[in-house]
Amino acid sequence: MQGFQISGYEDMDITPKSVLSKIKELEHLGFNDDHFQFIHHWGNLKGKDSSLESHKAYLKSVRSYQVASNNFKIAEKLAKCLTLAKSVEGDINFADICNQVNGILQNKQHSNRSRLNPERGLYVVTLNNQHPISANADDKRIAHIAIKVNRENCKFGKAVNLSNRRKNYYKTFGEENVNFQPVVLLSEIDIAEKEVLRRLKQFRQVSPSGNLTEWLHGINSGQIIEVINEALVGLGFQHDNFLAKEKDGKR
């Protein structure tokens, strides 16, 4: 069976062998299981194996695709992800790329995607340390030029994987200093983040280099959560309230 062409994406043949090669390139650029699960038809649905290793094993076991099959659609998405990643100058944001590939805002099932990826959402972080710590303390190359924050600051952010993001904060500030609070589970984290940050502009802190950061001062976590909810209502986004579920004992 011959490979198929994806118009506008390097005219690349879509065969299991070629996709294995593309996955290798994607992984080298930082593409991981979290990103793959977001473009996979299973997401990270419990009981389903949608890991890259599992998919690579499948690709090694077949010689061709069935046209319009789920695995063929995954192959198309992987090809598009690689093409978009190669077009990026600077740091590659695979969360944005996956959003673009999936076409979430045009997808009538975007609310279902949020449920299939229970780690994707918005969060708030507060700190316990009194002595200021660099927001990049885990990277000695830039730690000295980053903003320093303590318990008087808090931060709003987005994450493709909330659990991994929590671990990143632990690594930077020390687990004993971090209060990581997931707020909502949401597919459209990029658009939501921009709107929330717009509403929080007066509280955002400036880094030593003069850039506006996501670190805040003069507002507490409860007030930030109110802003998040108001922003999501204004955008008309469907979302799962993580805190409400936690309170009801569902998480």
Say if 86 falls within a structural domain.
yes
Residues 178 and 224 in one domain: yes
Residue 88's region, left for phi above 0, alpha for psi from -120 to 50, else beta, is beta
Q: How big is the CA angle at 95 (ends 78 and 89), to the nearest 5 degrees?
A: 85
Is there a domain that residue 2 lies in? Answer: no
Nearest alpha carbon to residue 193 among 102, 123, 93, 92: 123
In the chain, the number of structural domains is 2
pLDDT in tens, 190-225: 888 988 999 999 999 998 888 899 999 999 999 999
pLDDT in tens, the chain (251 residues): 333 233 333 334 689 999 999 999 999 999 998 888 888 866 545 445 678 999 999 999 998 888 778 888 899 889 888 888 888 888 888 888 887 787 643 443 444 444 445 678 899 999 999 999 999 888 888 888 899 999 999 999 999 999 999 999 999 999 999 999 999 888 788 888 988 999 999 999 998 888 899 999 999 999 999 999 888 887 777 665 655 444 344 43
Both 155 and 92 in a single domain? no
* Host domain of residue 197: 121-244
pLDDT in tens, 49-72: 678 999 999 999 998 888 778 888
Query: Is 149 strand, coil or helix?
Result: strand
92 and 169 co-located in one domain: no
Q: Evaluate whether residue 11 is within a structural domain.
A: no
Are 100 and 69 found together in one domain?
yes
pTM, entire model: 0.53
The residue type at 52: L
Same domain (yes/no): 137, 190? yes
Statement to judge: residues 76 and 191 lie in one domain: no
CA distance 57 to 36: 15
Q: What residues contact residue 173 under an 8 Å CB cut-off, 6+ apart?
A: 127, 129, 133, 137
Do 92 and 174 share a structural domain? no
**Residue 214 domain-assigned?**
yes
Q: Are residues 47 and 147 in the same domain?
A: no
169 and 202 part of one domain: yes
Q: Where are the beta strands (DSSP E) in 11-150?
A: 13-14, 121-127, 133-134, 148-149
Give a yes or no: residue 4 inside a domain.
no
Report how far residue 28's alpha carbon sits from residue 239's, in angstroms, rounded to the nearest whole number: 33
Same domain membership, residue 127 and residue 240: yes
The answer to whether residues 46 and 86 belong to one domain is yes
Q: Are residues 130 and 44 in the same domain?
A: no
